[in-house]
Amino acid sequence: MIELAVIFLAGFWAGMINVVVGSGTLVTFPVLLLFGYPPIVANISNNVGLVAGGITGSWGYRREIAANKRLLLTLLPLSAAGGIAGALLLLVLPPEAFRAIVPVLIVIGLVMVTVAPAVQRRAAAKAGEAPSPTSTSTPARIILLLGILVLGVYGGYFGAAQGILIVGLMSVMTLESLQRINAVKNVLTTAVNGIAAVTFMVFAWEFIDWRVTAAIAAGATLGGLFGARVGRRLSPNVLRVTILTIGTIALVRILFFD
């Protein structure tokens, strides 16, 4: 019971962090390893459990999602396709294959989040109009589409800090506000996790520990609701600092404590 209570609390924290920033997997995954669960069981059970938090978090951002429906409908199929591919790769490749590049990806994501305001201002000035997603150039759109597909594969495979990477990519490649980007990020990561979860249930049912999954799902459901309430109230600058802070903590944890 103590073990399940700790996993529940980890799920709550991960659900909240995923909605506000991303990288909740870096909370729950190490907790499961600490309790002795095999890495593939921990990874798959964690993935399935965190879907619930993504759903409630996305519901909390429904106003921002409605305002960006066209962009979301363009990106969603790419995330979904990537999620399926990543989940299938997990069943044939060792998790260490992607985990080795996680620190590099996190650094890239944090750099993109940092430079995004300057890039957006320059793009808006060059276009001679107010920030709008339709003012992005064709090369930027192509990079965005390919990037979302690749991050979908990564998310279905391992997924740590997937949200930070999506926020970083969209911050640089679009002129959307950070809150709207965060809303789109929540739907995309939830879609990736959800499709990966279905793939696991079809092809790797034996690797799912349903007690663990239920504990994480219960915690993440509440954490997603709470995270949406908190995240939507943060100013762009505070949200950006929060992303950079949590991303840096995740990077240090992976490099020195994993």
152 neighbors 79 (Cβ within 8 angstroms): yes
Domain count, the chain: 1
The predicted structure's pLDDT at residue 119: 66
Mean pLDDT of the 22-37 span: 82
pLDDT tens for each residue of 96-142: 666 677 677 778 777 777 776 776 566 556 555 444 444 567 888 89
pLDDT tens for each residue of 154-198: 888 877 778 888 888 888 888 888 888 889 999 999 999 899 899
Residues 6+ apart with CB under 8 A from 252: none
Least confident of 1-5, 83-87, 200-204, 242-246: 242-246
> How much is the CA Rg of the chain, to the nearest whole Å?
17
Kindly report the average pLDDT of the chain as a whole number. 83
Nearest 5°: CA angle at 227, between 132 and 168? 40
Cβ neighbours, 10 Å, residue 186: 31
pLDDT tens for each residue of 54-63: 999 999 999 8
Structural domain of 117: 2-257
106 or 47: which carries more pLDDT confidence?
47
The predicted structure's pLDDT at residue 58: 92
| Cα distance between residue 84 and residue 105, in whole Å | 20
Q: By CB neighbour count within 10 A (0-12 exposed, 13-18 middle, 19+ buried), where does 138 fall?
A: exposed
